[in-house]
A and B are shown apart, each in its own frame.
Chain A
Amino acid sequence: MIEAIKPNRPRKRTSVAEFLVFTLPLLLFLVILYGTVLWNFYVSTTNWVSTAPDYTFSGAKWYAYLFRQSRFWVDVQNNLKWLILGVVPTATAAIFLAYLLEMAPFPGVEGYIRTLILYPVAMSFVVTGTIWSWMYQPDKGIFNTIIRSFGIDSPFTFTNDPETATYWLIVIFIWQYLGFSVIIVQSSFRTTELQEMIEAATVDGASRLRILFSVIIPNIRSGIMVLVSLLLISSLKVFDIVWIVTRNGPGIATDVLATNMIVTSYDQRLFSAGAAIGTIIFLIAFILVIPYTIYALRKWFE
Chain B
Amino acid sequence: MRSRNKTLKIVVIAVLVVLTCAYILPIYVMVVNSLKTLPEITRRTYLAFPSAPQIQNYRSALFGSRDFLIPMARPIVNSTIITTSVTILACFFGGLGGYYLSRTVTPFTRIVFILVGIALYMPYQAIIIPLTTITARTGLINSHLGLIMCYMIINIPLASVLMGTFFLGLPRELEEAAEVDGASKIRTFFDIVVPISLPAYASVAIIIFTQVWNEFFIGLTLVTARTQTVQVAMAMTQGSTISPYNLQMAAALLTVAVPLLSFILFGRYFIRGVLAGALKG
Contacts and interface: CB of A to CB of B under 8 A. Distances in A.
Interface in B86-144: 93-94, 96-97, 99-102, 104-105, 110, 112-119, 121-131, 133-134
B201 interface: no
Contact of A301 (B29, B110, B128, B185): B110
A19 B104 CA distance: 11
B260 A100 contact: no
A68 B243 CA distance: 39
B123 A14 contact: no
A200 B214 CA distance: 45
Contact of A105 (B5, B30, B176, B217): B5
A146 interface: yes
B216 A124 contact: yes
Interface string A287-300: 01100110011011
A152 interface: no
A208 B252 contact: no
Contact of B259 (A123, A145, A233): A123
Contact of B116 (A26, A131, A226): A26
Nearest to A301: B105
Contacts of A188: 279
Contacts of B234: 124, 126-127, 130
A148 B186 CA distance: 66
B113 A297 contact: yes
Nearest to B258: A122
User: Chain B interface secondary structure, helix, strand, loop or mixed?
Assistant: helix
A240 B216 contact: yes
B72 to A, nearest CB: 12
Interface stretch (A82-90, A161-169, A274-282): A274-282
Given A121-B270, A121-B274, A127-B256, A26 B126 contact: no
Contact of A126 (B122, B216, B260, B262): B216
Interface residues of A, number: 106
Nearest to A133: B238
User: Chain A interface secondary structure, helix, strand, loop or mixed?
Assistant: helix
B96 A40 contact: no
A223 B279 contact: yes
B46 A142 contact: yes
A26 B184 contact: no
A105 B104 CA distance: 47
B275 A19 contact: no
Interface string B229-247: 0010011011100000100
Contacts of B52: none
Contacts of A104: 12
Nearest to A279: B126
A123 B260 contact: yes
B267 A113 contact: no
B130 A128 contact: no
Interface of B: 4-5, 8-9, 11-12, 15-16, 19-20, 22-27, 29-30, 44, 46-47, 93-94, 96-97, 99-102, 104-105, 110, 112-119, 121-131, 133-134, 152-154, 156-157, 160, 164, 168-169, 171-172, 176, 179, 184-186, 189, 210, 213-217, 220-221, 231, 234-235, 237-239, 245, 248-249, 252, 255-256, 259-260, 262-264, 267, 270-271, 274-275, 278-281
26 contacts: A21-B96, A23-B97, A25-B96, A26-B116, A36-B134, A100-B12, A122-B259, A124-B215, A126-B231, A126-B238, A126-B255, A131-B249, A140-B44, A208-B4, A226-B278, A237-B121, A243-B220, A247-B239, A261-B125, A275-B129, A277-B125, A282-B123, A285-B123, A289-B118, A300-B101, A300-B164
